[in-house]
Structure 1
Amino acid sequence: MRSGPGSIISLITIAILALAGLFLTGGGLWLIVAGGSWYYLIAGLVMLATALLLQFRRPEALSLYAALVIGTLIWAIWEVGFDWWPLAARGGVIFILGLVLLLPWITRRLGRRNVAQALDGVVVTPSARRGSGLALSGALVVALVVAGISWFTDLHSVEGRLPERQTAWNDLGVPAGEWHQYGRTSYGQRYAPLDQITPDNVDRLQVAWEYHTGDETQPGDPVETTFEVTPLKIGERLYLCTPHQNVIALDATTGEEIWRYDPQIQGELALQHLTCRGLAYQAPGTADQAGADAAATPAADAASPASDSPTGTATALAQSGQLAAPQTDGQPASADDAATAPAAPTETPTSNQPVAAATAARTSDTCDGKLFMPTADGRLIALNLETGAVCTGFGGGDGQIDLWQKMPNVNPGSYYSTSPVVVTQDMVIVGGTVLDNVSTNEASGVIRGYDIETGDLVWAWDSGNPDQTTPLPEGQSYTPNSPNSWSISAADEALGMVYVPLGNQPPDQWGANRSDAVERFSSSVVALDIATGEVRWVFQTVHHDLWDYDVPSQPSLLDLTIRGESVPVVVQPTKQGEVYVLDRRTGEPALPVVETPVPGGAVEPDFTAPTQPVSALSFDPPAIRETDMWGATLFDQLACRIAFHGYRYEGRYTPPSLEGSLVYPGNFGVFNWGGVAIDPVRDVMFSTPAYLAFVSKLVPRDNDSDLVVNKSQPDGALPALNENFGAPYAVELSPFTSVLGLPCQSPPWGYVTGSDLATGETVWMHKNGTVRDSSPIPLPFEMGVPDLGGPVITAGGVAFISGTLDYYVRGFDVTTGKQLWRARLPAGGQSTPMSYEGADGRQYVLVAAGGHGSLGTKRGDSVIAYALPGEAAAAE
């Protein structure tokens, strides 16, 4: 017989059908044994039968495959309804193979006799071939119609309109066109009272200017090196910090650099994260200033403050060689110079280019207005607002506080403030991040209050020793490994309270040995007295947290009208999807909170809490089912189904296990550090919930030194994450993904939502973002992707976000949630935008686009300001 192209295509098609059938049959049997769907076994057998019939040139092959197409369609609709992406995963391969079977090279061979049939006298009629082809064609047309219907059907959208109510609000004295704290004010609302940009004109926004910081990835950086800053806008200037913690002042209207300060971060550091989310600001005249601002002068020998800690300070570490020396003019400095005061700014550049920091520090004896900058080597530095010079009146004469004082387990880089500190009239309140899941011998999560003028320690609240807040006596140190506050706090000076979001005690997934104090304060919102640090109230968001559900977001404060009464509340988003609305005077729920039973059965001798608190305003997703498994094809979806049944999963709060447990929502969080945006005039909330499942598996440790979950020790001082040295178990943590790296759960994975805080109702909810920058092929499919970075909401009725995994900044109608505008970013925008008014009278929207290491988004160093064209802005 002659073999032409038709024969080759037929042989390839038969081979593909046979291989696919074998995979589905074998995997289908595995899934049935695990307790899953019978579909895959049936589909595999039908594919094998179709391949066999094609081999014998039987037209019935097409009819049998047509039955598979219709059967798959019925099964898929029964499982997921008219939901396009889940339907496509189930039927895409089936549909494509059906089209291949209708190719003329294949259909012409059907009904023709092969050599054996000719010898046997077999006759096949052409009508049989035509009938089979029509059956398959009809089945594919039906599948195509269903696909078209599902493409235009959005089962995940909630439509509605937020109320247009007008209530009184407290702007805390911040001018409307400025942004004085991370969340604009100490209330953390992320609300800009500017209305030049509206739903009617937001689509006319254009780039006004773009600035490049020059801060790039360096050798020795941790994976999670991120540009997460939200700049401040004070007067006519912007102030921001970079991942490597340069502080930069820009002209807010033109983007021109005014000064730059380099803190000269010391040596190799045991960093899990390298970021700076923002600066804190003390306004001029908020406390007594002695004399006028002195001229800035070089500091020849400004050493770090001496420590009375028994464990030593940055100075002691430098002298002992444990802290590497900084670089000066490209040459290594001596170890004795390692703790010298950092370099100063270079003032007034002539162009919009990064300016090198001077090698000698400039100082100012007094500063009428200060910026506070925490550093990765554990310092808090005060800078002159106008010049960027170090304020020597703060911190014992050199403008900085050594945050390692009285800390246990000194390991530079393992503790520092990634988030801006809280500034009140008299106090600077400092928390910090502690290495997570590295060991049981880490620094303390102590929260400290310092005198805003002198830098003297006034109080220290240690959740491991909560009743003593006065400074520790000589020779004592804070509690090791106590729950820390790595996120951003909020403050109400009228009530005299600072609201602190607390994390968990590491290791996150093992809690058998936690103290009573840890059990009380872990994963809580704690209200501390600003003056004394004493606990005023505590609300625990997770009892006995085994899921890394630390409280990640800044609390947002507002006066909320509930049932006709104005109630001062704190709104606290959480990783597990609850948004708690609490009376900020007492910590009592202002919207109902119900204790709900949850799964038990932790690995002994650990345990789980019998119940967990669920809020009336909740973004907790429905429990994952087998039918929620997804993939790019039928085959990786089958693999995800098998994996799903291989893990322990009984819903939210399924405890970690030796076989591996599904954690959903995962520790990425429904909400993370970006938090939510609050319109205090309308009493509404704009948020960006994300939904990704993770896998948590406990791995037994035989000793306190061997690596059991890392293949090798990281380079330099970087820590071996998730090893939990000192605990009986390490932990393997990973997203629940397929062999192709795609989430095993069906999209959407990210939304934008609008909620009425007065009623606790989520009024609208829409999927948000594309997979353009997450997939191997840059297809802009609107599937809904996670957002890491917060929103900003404006009085003009427009909210902005930039943190989705695709590289866009977007503007939304707050009332309806409709996307009104988007602009392409040069890198990942994992930061929280802000909005301000420039000297030209235009309202600006500002975005930092520099990427996020652990998310794999593109790195960069851009700060971009958008505004309406001059003529349009003038007309508003």
Structure 2
Amino acid sequence: MAGNGRLHPLTFFTAIAFIVIGALLAAGGAYLIALKGSWYYAITGAAIVLTGLLLLIRRRSALLLFALVLFGSTIWAVVEVRFDFWQLMPRLWIWVLLALWLLIPFVHRGAMHGPPANPRAARTPLAAAIVLALLLGVGTFFHDPHDRPGRIDVEAAADANQPDTNAGTGRAPGDWIDYGGSPLAQRYAPLAQITPQNASQLKVAWTYRTGDMPGPGDPTETTDENTPIKVGDTIFLCTPHSKVIALDATSGKEKWRFDPQIQSPIGFKHWEHMTCRGVAYYDPAMHAAAAVSAPAEASAQPASDTAVTADQASAASASVPAAPPAPVQTPAQTTALAECPRRLFLPTADARLIALDADTGKPCASFGKNGAIDLRANIGPFTPGGYYSTSPPAVFGKLVIVGGHVTDNESNNEPSGVIRAFDVNDGHLVWNWDSGNPDATAPIAPGGTYVRNSPNMWSMFSVDEKRGIIYLPMGNQTPDQWGGQRTQQAEKFAAGLVALDAATGKLRWNYQFTHHDLWDMDVGGQPTLVDLQTAQGTQPAVIASTKQGSIYVLNRETGQPIVPINEMPVPQGAAKGDRTSPTQAVSALNFNPPRVTEADMWGTTPFDQLWCRVKFRSLRYDGPFTPPSEQGTLVFPGNFGVFDWGGISVDPVRQILIANPDYMAFTSKLIPREKLQEGATSTSETSGIKQARGTPYAYEISAFLSPLGIPCQAPPWGYMAGVDLRTNKIAWMHKNGTIVDSAPLPIPMPLGVPSLGGTMVTAGGVAFLTGTLDQYVRAYDVHDGRKLWEARLPAGGQATPMSYADASGKQYLLVTAGGHGSLGTKAGDYVIAYTLQ
């Protein structure tokens, strides 16, 4: 120890560190007070500065003062967040470490003067404060305030007797022929070999690598979101660069591959993203079972046991056209069928729709021009990469029906979001439905152009083959954040669900979920069709998951709500030249998050937490649906939504819905055109400066993160959840996943992380998910959400898994692990099959 005339160097440096830490905290805290935020940081910062000054003048009271800081911080933290360990820890751990440092003899012995006279009396309160904080940590570590345990009790007979939901469709129970398992999009495999009792025994059966990796010339958002399909003994998949590969379902060995050699006049780097979610399959023997059009009487009238009024039934009947006569097979179509009897339809990143022989992988020359249709036809000019179909088309009867992705926020003069139906044999246009001109469904004239900038449908269709209806989850008219120029026609069909007659393209009904959408609340998930058991009897339902968190349950014949939907008042005050809807539609079945408060701001330390609080207070936020602003607005739920394109899965026998809700806040800021900096750019659809040319504003959008890249709002950020569809209540909800692959240190903290990609369920009572930010595939018991098994993936798994059976009846789980560019998960090119060993 230094002599009585001077400080020990360790005490001196400790004092300086305290003064600096306290000054930074006090300065930030003063700014937070000016924004009408918490006084804690300013007061605590001042106390820490004073602690440092007392150390400089060698006062023992420095230890007493810091004991008070730690005691006060502990009490304040409990008042703010109760007993939530993962919110208490970042508030306290730095102060606990500093307190422990002060108790080191070489540090505090330099403080020799002043009260208390006994050095032990100075150390004891500080030690007590440390013990209290540590006991609080230990006591709360095993308590999870966000967990919602529960169980969905199902009759034993339902567990034991699983019917084949593919019966009558021509699809074998061991196949996964459509993106969502079947046209009903339930993401349900009627296979029961894997159960909660044996799921832990799953092992890798085979691994295949596609060889398609992101390259230096690719856009940041190069993503592998593919869900393969399985037909007979073959698996078909597509890659981000639109390559199609056929694999043997039992061994994973390659049968053939097709490379469309996608092209771009400017290269791909300046595109916003590149992905292929899947291919579609056509078999004349199977699809002949789908009616060309359901009879008007059968498809328009609700079933006798559905809860709809006579007026509703009459209105639905009036909107349905009479069924056209069945088409006659032409000689050319007969030749085409002989050439390619079983077909795959591939949407490419350069806006083509290609028909391939499913047996050989060769283009079907009779389809379109040399096997391809140019989807750029009749939509007008666009920036390369600004229009193409990222998702598989739908097949109904002898039609292949395709939508298209339109780049968000590029300008107010983008391509049409038209839906087009082509003949599966020769590719001629049969009908088109353009939300900007919805009544003109006859094929457009060769020189015509569809309505520019009409809302698009970029996600996956679902099809009710029995009723002849196709369901469209709709986006909105770009740009997303300012809608002052939107047309009445565009407003009618945006951000909702549209039901079309699949044979003619005529409108059956539509229901809007977000009115005058200013928050990018596209309906991203594929609608799920299921016959629900209700108090009024079995009702044919369509279930739509949405970004805002509501799950809308409608009668799929009439569009009338089965689960109540209420119009709720929302914040007002749009930007200049725009408006807001006074209310928004909220379903009684929803995963809508509670309103964010300053106490919900998070961080790894008090410093980034303080930064997040300042940022939160500087943004406009009046709750969900707060309008975009020049000030900057907190958007929560954010642009990825509570539910995105992964949708939900449904066990139609047990009447259980499985979902993976996410909770990540975003920020948006409108930038007047005259204030826009030269060269401002965007790196993906969910970050950077959006030009929105032709409107008064550009805007900036980003995830609400601290300077360390950590979410500003507290965890959990991702869950697995189960809904009992017999009661339409959330039965269980558990946080899901760890930060092992997204934190600076690979520590598997179980905070619950976001997931992109959907769930799938099996007749065995097991659900699967791969989409979390950590690289795992996991299995869950559908009854209570208990995690049954997990396996490490070699790359990010941001795709929806599927399950199938081989010729021997062995059940497999199939996973795509290729990573996601904008989420920053590890890139790869893996397709992995698991089975019981």
Task: Give the TM-score of the pair, scaled to structure 1.
Answer: 0.86
Match of 1:786 among 739, 749, 754: 754
Alpha-carbon deviations, 1:49-72, whole Å to 9, x = none?
211221222222111111111111
SS at match of 1:465: coil
Give distance in 2, aligned partners of 1:817 and 1:710: 48
Matched residue, 1:72? 73
Give distance in 1, aligned partners of 2:17 and 2:200: 49
Matched residue, 1:598? 570
Match of 2:767 among 775, 799, 816: 799
Deviation at 1:12, TM superposition (A): 2.1
Give distance in 2, aligned partners of 1:402 and 1:721: 31
Query: What amino acid is aligned across from residue 390 of structure 1 in structure 2?
Result: P
Give distance in 2, aligned partners of 1:56 and 1:493: 84
**Contact 1:110/1:129 (CA < 8 Å) preserved in 2?**
no
Choose 561-570 or 610-619, whichever is displaced more.
561-570
Find out whether 1:843 has 2:816 as its counterpart.
Answer: no
**Contact 1:228/1:789 (CA < 8 Å) preserved in 2?**
yes
Find out whether 1:735 has 2:735 as its counterpart.
Answer: no
Choose 247-256 or 755-764, whichever is displaced more.
755-764
SS at match of 1:391: coil
Matched residue, 1:637? 609
SS at match of 1:547: coil
Within 5 Å, give how 1:860-871 maps onto structure 2.
Answer: 860-869=828-837
Match of 2:343 among 370, 380, 389: 370
Give distance in 2, aligned partners of 1:218 and 1:39: 49
Give distance in 1, aligned partners of 2:689 and 2:573: 26
Deviation at 1:128, TM superposition (A): 2.3
Deviation at 1:3, TM superposition (A): 8.3
Matched residue, 1:322? none
Give distance in 2, aligned partners of 1:219 and 1:499: 38
Deviation at 1:410, TM superposition (A): 4.3
Query: What amino acid is aligned across from residue 694 of structure 2 in structure 1?
Result: G
Find out whether 1:626 has 2:598 as its counterpart.
Answer: yes
Deviation at 1:513, TM superposition (A): 0.9
Deviation at 1:79, TM superposition (A): 0.5
Within 5 Å, give how 1:542-621 maps onto structure 2.
Answer: 542-621=514-593
Matched residue, 2:308? none
Matched residue, 1:202? 199
Alpha-carbon deviations, 1:28-55, whole Å to 9, x = none?
1111111111111111121112112212
Unaligned runs of 5+ in 2: 289-335
Query: What amino acid is aligned across from residue 843 of structure 1 in structure 2?
Result: Q
Give distance in 2, aligned partners of 1:595 and 1:607: 17
Within 5 Å, give how 1:115-264 maps onto structure 2.
Answer: 128-165=118-155, 166=158, 170-171=165-166, 172-264=169-261
Matched residue, 1:352? none
**Contact 1:283/1:370 (CA < 8 Å) preserved in 2?**
yes
Deviation at 1:286, TM superposition (A): 4.5
Deviation at 1:412, TM superposition (A): 3.8
Deviation at 1:402, TM superposition (A): 1.3
Query: What amino acid is aligned across from residue 151 of structure 1 in structure 2?
Result: F
Aligned residues: 778
Identity among equivalent pairs (%)? 51
Find out whether 1:437 has 2:404 as its counterpart.
Answer: no
Task: Give the TM-score of the pair, scaled to structure 2.
Answer: 0.90
CA, structure 1 residues 3+12, in 2 after alignment: closer, same or farther (shift >3 Å)? farther
Deviation at 1:415, TM superposition (A): 1.0
Deviation at 1:284, TM superposition (A): 4.2
Alpha-carbon deviations, 1:623-649, whole Å to 9, x = none?
100000011101111111111110000
CA, structure 1 residues 220+125, in 2 after alignment: closer, same or farther (shift >3 Å)? closer
Within 5 Å, give how 1:69-468 maps onto structure 2.
Answer: 69-111=70-112, 128-165=118-155, 166=158, 170-171=165-166, 172-267=169-264, 268=267, 271-286=271-286, 366-395=339-368, 398-468=370-440
Give distance in 1, aligned partners of 2:775 and 2:680: 32
> Aligned-residue CA RMSD in angstroms?
2.1
Matched residue, 2:332? none
Give distance in 2, aligned partners of 1:586 and 1:60: 75
**Contact 1:391/1:398 (CA < 8 Å) preserved in 2?**
yes
Find out whether 1:526 has 2:465 as its counterpart.
Answer: no
Give distance in 2, aligned partners of 1:528 and 1:272: 30
Give distance in 2, aligned partners of 1:727 and 1:381: 36
CA, structure 1 residues 762+709, in 2 after alignment: closer, same or farther (shift >3 Å)? farther
Query: What amino acid is aligned across from residue 83 of structure 2 in structure 1?
Result: F
Runs of 4 or more consecutive aligned structure 1 residues displaced over 4 Å after TM superposition: 1-6, 124-127, 712-715
Give distance in 1, aligned partners of 2:163 and 2:151: 21
SS at match of 1:19: helix
SS at match of 1:487: coil
Query: What amino acid is aligned across from residue 220 of structure 1 in structure 2?
Result: G
Within 5 Å, give how 1:758-777 maps onto structure 2.
Answer: 758-777=726-745
Query: What amino acid is aligned across from residue 528 of structure 1 in structure 2?
Result: L
Deviation at 1:659, TM superposition (A): 0.9
Matched residue, 1:7? 8
Choose 804-813 or 61-70, whichever is displaced more.
61-70
Within 5 Å, give how 1:667-816 maps onto structure 2.
Answer: 667-702=639-674, 708=677, 710-711=679-680, 722-816=690-784
**Contact 1:709/1:730 (CA < 8 Å) preserved in 2?**
no
Within 5 Å, give how 1:478-493 maps onto structure 2.
Answer: 478-493=450-465
CA, structure 1 residues 430+222, in 2 after alignment: closer, same or farther (shift >3 Å)? same
Deviation at 1:838, TM superposition (A): 2.0
Give distance in 1, aligned partners of 2:82 and 2:14: 30
**Contact 2:689/2:698 (CA < 8 Å) preserved in 1?**
no
Deviation at 1:475, TM superposition (A): 2.8
SS at match of 1:146: helix
Within 5 Å, give how 1:497-512 maps onto structure 2.
Answer: 497-512=469-484
Unaligned runs of 5+ in 1: 114-123, 289-362, 870-876
**Contact 1:409/1:441 (CA < 8 Å) preserved in 2?**
no
Matched residue, 2:300? none
**Contact 2:389/2:403 (CA < 8 Å) preserved in 1?**
yes
SS at match of 2:804: strand
Match of 2:798 among 826, 830, 841: 830
Deviation at 1:668, TM superposition (A): 1.2
